[in-house]
Amino acid sequence: MTETTDQSLDDVLQIDIVSDVVCPWCIVGFKQLEQAIADTGISAAIKWHPFELNPDMADEGENLREHIMRKYGSTAEQSAAARDRLTAVGADLGFEFRFTDDMRMVNTFKAHQLIHWAGPDGKEHPLKMALFEAYFKDRKDLNDDAVLADVAATVGLDRAEALKVLEDGRFADTVRQEEAFWTGNGIQGVPAVIFERRHLITGAQGADNYASIIRQLVDGEAA
């Protein structure tokens, strides 16, 4: 995907993002980055890379709140406060979170395979955005083949072929290798944003901070 704005520079900034589609701060971080790209007037080529928050999650998934409380040792009150904060931050960025008490955390290995498949057709970014919405807005099960194929169809991909991709696992090894590459290079949490394949920034940093980083990089390249 290439973000295009009123360009003030001839060069395109390469931005790689390692993330998971069930990671709320990943979509928040991207929306902040997207705003920073627009504010700075640069042209950026964005490439998504896979990361699984829960690679060992069972097929049936787990209640999201119970999962967060168990994984991070948080209380129900802390979980509710975090959801309220995310909902407010998302609204400011134009992304709607619709958390519910019965929402489930699921494994996303299949979703990452589908995103990889969508790349050559120029659908990687639209599919990634659609999967974020399907999970956080529509509370869809992103470990379900039919659900994933339906989401793929909404961005113009062939639903029947999407099902075949998921059923035969043709990209499973490729995705595993890419996940291993990033974890082997120290990525333990997401979002992880790599500018120009050299500068790693972790976590959702805010639009102003991202804009500052972009300007520093651009000024450095121009010097």
What is the rounded CA–CA span in Å between residue 169 and residue 178? 15
Q: What is the mean pLDDT of residues 27-47?
A: 97
CA distance 26 to 49: 12
Confidence of residue 2 (pLDDT cuts 50, 70, 90): very low
Looking at residue 4, its pLDDT comes to 37
pLDDT score at 221: 66
| Span 147-182, pLDDT tens digits | 999 999 999 999 999 999 999 999 999 999 999 999
Residue whose tokens read 């049936």: 60
- Reported as a single tens digit per residue, the pLDDT across 85-142 is 999 999 999 999 999 999 999 999 999 999 999 999 999 999 999 999 999 999 999 9
**Average confidence score pLDDT of the chain:** 93
CA atoms of 25 and 34, how far apart (whole Å) = 14
Q: For 92-101, how does the pLDDT look when each residue is reduced to its tens digit (9 = 90+)?
A: 999 999 999 9
Phi, psi of 191 (to 5 degrees): -75, 145
The sign of the torsion formed by the CA atoms of 127, 96, 4, 154 equals positive
Domain of 73 in residue numbering reads as 2-222
Q: Determine the pLDDT at residue 222.
A: 55
Confidence at residue 28, expressed as pLDDT on a 0 to 100 scale: 98
Confidence (pLDDT) at 219: 84
**Residue 31 to residue 25: CA distance in whole angstroms:** 10
**CATH code where residue 93 lies:** 3.40.30.10
In terms of DSSP H, where are the helices of the chain? 24-40, 64-72, 76-92, 109-118, 124-136, 145-154, 159-168, 172-184, 207-222
Q: What is the DSSP string of 35-93?
A: HHHHHHT-EEEEEEEE--S-TT--TT-EEHHHHHHHHH---HHHHHHHHHHHHHHHHHT
pLDDT digits (tens, 9 = 90+) for 74-96: 999 999 999 999 999 999 999 99
Query: Based on the structure, what is the number of domains in the chain?
Result: 1
Percentage above 90 pLDDT, the chain: 90
Is the pLDDT at 8 greater than 80? The verdict is no
Q: Tell me if the pTM is above 0.75.
A: yes
Q: How far are the Cα atoms of 12, 64, 70, 79, 213 from residue 99, in angstroms, in the given order?
A: 36, 9, 18, 11, 32
